[in-house]
């Protein structure tokens, strides 16, 4: 029998990643593109198809070597019918039957889901949430993505649109959010917002990496900056912990690299503000799979969908 | 074969209700007591046992007529081991093995759960949430109780302590809550809080029933009062809707009798503040089973536990 692989695609607002994984979820080959190079929908789909073809040819694989294609999206989608409702930070996508389009062009089985769900699935099967029955996974970047594990499975909601932790309001009269809401967590801890805040505090443009390094060195301004970010995140998570009573909250994405300065504050706020039983139960971990979580989750999705 | 019945007990901070239900969940007999008459734990347990005995004797039922006893509690409990962790508004209950105690005294199978979970179960099987896969049920009273239906089952969380919608923070620097948190929904819409507010607005003691009646008659102060209450509730529910993507939110309990003045505002705020896909999906309903929901849910729990 032909050796089997899985194609995984992680479509982000910044980067498009395409990879080949084996059935142990090891990444065998990968390509990365700047999403902004493909401003038109058809161009982006063309780039995905080209990349998948190239990876197959480079390894001399044909269709029967490929179990299927898994795609992670920064937005909401009908995973069963393969319809993309909309993509955050990528304009021009509305109710696109991407599943059918890719299937026709690639002649492979195609599965898709929200990228935060796939990151959560990866952490659940192979990372920090392994073996848990109830967990919440966050990716902190431009936006706040999240997935929920409930009773050992991804919690989906009526439209597979659940787990929007970034859009929990933490102040009734807080700033307007892109989503139409007000005072959403994302308006306090989204990348753009905290970069602007860091610039104010340090009176110059400063990367989050640098603020993290400075915090680790004990710089007071950097510590105050991360403490404030952790306070907002902790308040929202206290609510999530009261509502979902998870065993763990797992935090990944670029912002999670802030490390101790952020995590200590988040843990403290949850301990102080969440209810006794729930607060005692919950652990806060850094995600284990890092940057590859989306690709690994996409591959796991394909494997599990085909096993059913 | 002997005709079968179920004993249901709804232990609330104000009233203790004990009832006999048939297998169609019709209430055949019921007794009600003021919970405050039994300030000691043993007295309260004694009252439950006496009441169950009396109801059985009045109907000339013996043990084999009773399928089991279902108990709803205003607090957190380990439902599987029958341990009550604590009861809100009823002091003196901490880690009590109530399941074992009642089983010994009554010589019947005993099952227990949080009262809001049982209300939710009743609305799910026989009320407004019937046939839905994802729903959130609230009971608005002294506190804000809630239950979550996820993928057709009660969402429990790691310690059966989930669904605390009343303890979602809606303002980071809001008022201190009994739970230890700050700015929890309950600090804005709990009965005591809104009664105090109504007293201020009307410059006299006024019942919620009267404010509801006045609102229905178009009284501006009453409408403003309920609109404000609905605003707070709507903000918290916008968060719940973004997080859980339910098909419906079902609202019961005394406060739900405010009717249109409250519900219209809640719906408006959810429509304005929740995310597009989730807001379009969710419906807001008044609970159907009213006061008896807790007893009916307790009976359903017994039946379903024994079917497993």
pLDDT (0 to 100) of residue A39:
82
Residues A280 and A140 in one domain: yes
Residues B218 and B301 in one domain: no
Cβ contact, residue pair A156, B151, below 8 Å: yes
**Residue B125 lies inside a defined structural domain of this protein:** no
Q: Which two tokens stand for residue A105?
A: 């062009």
Inform me whether the C-beta atom of residue B165 falls under 8 Å from chain A C-beta atoms. yes
**Residue B123 lies inside a defined structural domain of this protein:** no
Cβ contact, residue pair B242, A276, below 8 Å: no
CA dist B245 and B201 (Å) reads 36
**Residue B126 lies inside a defined structural domain of this protein:** no
Cβ contact, residue pair B180, A240, below 8 Å: no
CA dist A92 and A89 (Å) reads 10
Inform me whether the C-beta atom of residue A163 falls under 8 Å from chain B C-beta atoms. yes
> Which residues on chain B are in Cβ contact (under 8 Å) with A157?
134, 244-246, 278
Residue tagged 């070597």 (tokens): A65
Average pLDDT of chain A, as a whole number: 94
Residues B138 and B93 in one domain: no
Residues B178 and B256 in one domain: yes
What is the three-class DSSP state of A129? Answer: coil
Choose among A297, A112, A140, A163: nearest CA to A232: A140
**Residue A125 lies inside a defined structural domain of this protein:** no
CATH code, A255: 3.30.420.40
Q: How far B295 CA sits from the closest chain A CA (Å)?
A: 24
**Residue A126 lies inside a defined structural domain of this protein:** no
CA dist B142 and B145 (Å) reads 9
Residues B142 and B240 in one domain: yes
Tally of domains in chain B: 2
What is the three-class DSSP state of A25? Answer: coil
Are residues A211 and A226 in contact, defined by beta-carbon separation less than 8 angstroms?
A: yes
In the predicted model, residues of chain B with pLDDT beneath 70 are 1
User: If you ran DSSP here, which 8-state letter would residue A255 be given?
Assistant: G
pLDDT (0 to 100) of residue A1:
66
Please state, in angstroms and as integers, the Cα–Cα distance from residue A286 to each residue in A242, A289, B134, following that order. Answer: 20, 9, 30
Q: Which two tokens stand for residue B6?
A: 């179920």
Inform me whether the C-beta atom of residue A151 falls under 8 Å from chain B C-beta atoms. yes
Q: How far B151 CA sits from the closest chain A CA (Å)?
A: 8
pLDDT (0 to 100) of residue A94:
87
Residues A69 and A164 in one domain: no
Q: How far A124 CA sits from the closest chain B CA (Å)?
A: 15
Nearest to B157 among A167, A181, A246 (CB): A246
Give A 226-265 residues with CB within 8 A of chain B: 231-232, 235-236, 238-240, 242-247
Nearest to B159 among A180, A238, A245 (CB): A245
Residues A16 and A95 in one domain: yes
In the predicted model, residues of chain A with pLDDT beneath 70 are 1
| A-chain residue closest to B239, CA distance | A168
Residues B141 and B161 in one domain: yes
pLDDT (0 to 100) of residue A161:
92
> Which residues on chain B are in Cβ contact (under 8 Å) with A155?
150-151, 244
Inform me whether the C-beta atom of residue B137 falls under 8 Å from chain A C-beta atoms. no
Q: What is the ipTM of this complex?
A: 0.94
Q: How far B281 CA sits from the closest chain A CA (Å)?
A: 8
Q: Which two tokens stand for residue A161?
A: 């649109």
> Which residues on chain A are in Cβ contact (under 8 Å) with B164?
242-243, 275, 278
Residues A141 and A238 in one domain: yes
| pLDDT tens per residue across span A47-102 | 999 999 999 999 999 999 999 999 999 888 888 899 998 887 788 888 999 999 99
Residues A90 and A164 in one domain: no
pLDDT (0 to 100) of residue B1:
66
Residues A231 and A105 in one domain: no
DSSP string, chain B: ----EEEEEEE-SSEEEEEEEETT--EEEEEEEEGGG--SHHHHHHHHHHHHHHHHHHTT--GGGEEEEEEEESEEEETTTTEEEEETT-TT-EEE-HHHHHHHHH-S-EEEEEHHHHHHHHHHHHSTTTT-SSEEEEEESSSEEEEEEETTEE---TTS----GGG-BSBTT--B-TTS-BSBTHHHHSHHHHHHHHHHHHTS---HHHHHHHHHTT-HHHHHHHHHHHHHHHHHHHHHHHHH--SEEEEESGGGGGTHHHHHHHHHHHHHHS-HHHHHH-EEEE-SSGGGHHHHHHHHHHHHHHH-
> Which residues on chain A are in Cβ contact (under 8 Å) with B278?
157, 159, 161, 164
Q: How far A173 CA sits from the closest chain B CA (Å)?
A: 8
Write out the E strands in chain A.
5-11, 15-22, 27-34, 66-73, 75-78, 83-87, 94-96, 110-114, 135-140, 144-150, 153-154, 248-252, 283-286
Inform me whether the C-beta atom of residue A155 falls under 8 Å from chain B C-beta atoms. yes
pLDDT (0 to 100) of residue B32:
95
Q: Look at chain A and count its residues.
A: 308
**Residue B263 lies inside a defined structural domain of this protein:** yes
Residues B171 and B227 in one domain: yes
**Residue A27 lies inside a defined structural domain of this protein:** yes
**Residue B141 lies inside a defined structural domain of this protein:** yes
| A-chain residue closest to B132, CA distance | A158
| pLDDT tens per residue across span A147-169 | 999 999 999 999 999 999 999 99
Of the residues A244, A249, A282, the best mutation for testing chain B's interface (the one with the most B CB atoms within 10 Å of its CB) is A244
Burial letters for A36-54: b for 16+ Cβ neighbours within 10 Å, e otherwise? Answer: eebeebeebbebbbebbee
User: If you ran DSSP here, which 8-state letter would residue A166 be given?
Assistant: G
Bridge partner list, B283: B248
A208-216 vs A220-244: helix crossing angle, rounded to 10: 100
> Which residues on chain A are in Cβ contact (under 8 Å) with B245?
156-162
Q: Which domain holds residue B174?
A: 131-287
CA atoms within 13 A on the CB side of B243: 32
């Amino acid at each position: 029998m032909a050796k089997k692989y899985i194609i995984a695609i992680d479509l982000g607002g910044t980067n498009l990643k395409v990879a080949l994984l084996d059935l142990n979820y090891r990444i065998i080959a990968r390509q990365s593109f700047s999403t902004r190079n493909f401003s038109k929908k058809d161009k982006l789909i063309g780039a995905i198809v080209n990349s998948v073809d190239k990876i197959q040819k480079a390894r001399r694989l044909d269709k029967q070597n490929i179990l299927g294609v898994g795609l992670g999206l920064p937005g909401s989608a009908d995973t069963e019918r393969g319809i993309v409702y909309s993509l955050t930070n990528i304009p021009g996508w509305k109710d696109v039957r991407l599943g059918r389009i890719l299937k026709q062009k690639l002649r492979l089985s195609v599965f898709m889901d929200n990228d935060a769900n796939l990151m959560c699935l990866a952490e659940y099967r192979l990372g920090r949430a392994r073996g848990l029955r109830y967990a919440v996974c966050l990716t902190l970047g431009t936006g706040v993505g999240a997935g929920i594990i409930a009773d050992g499975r991804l919690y989906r909601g009526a439209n597979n649109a659940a787990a929007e932790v970034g859009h929990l309001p933490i102040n009734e009269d807080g700033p307007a959010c892109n989503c139409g809401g007000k005072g959403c967590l994302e308006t306090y801890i989204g990348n753009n917002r905290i970069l602007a805040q860091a610039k104010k505090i340090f009176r110059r443009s400063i990367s989050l990496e640098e603020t993290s390094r400075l915090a680790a060195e004990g710089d007071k301004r950097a510590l105050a900056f991360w403490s404030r970010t952790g306070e907002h995140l902790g308040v929202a998570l206290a609510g999530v912990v009261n509502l979902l009573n998870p065993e763990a909250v797992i935090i990944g994405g670029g912002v999670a690299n802030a490390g101790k300065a952020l995590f200590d504050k988040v843990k403290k706020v949850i301990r102080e503000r969440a209810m006794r039983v729930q607060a005692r139960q919950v652990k806060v971990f850094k995600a284990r799979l890092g940057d590859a979580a989306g690709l690994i989750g996409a591959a796991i999705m394909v494997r599990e969908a085909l096993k059913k």
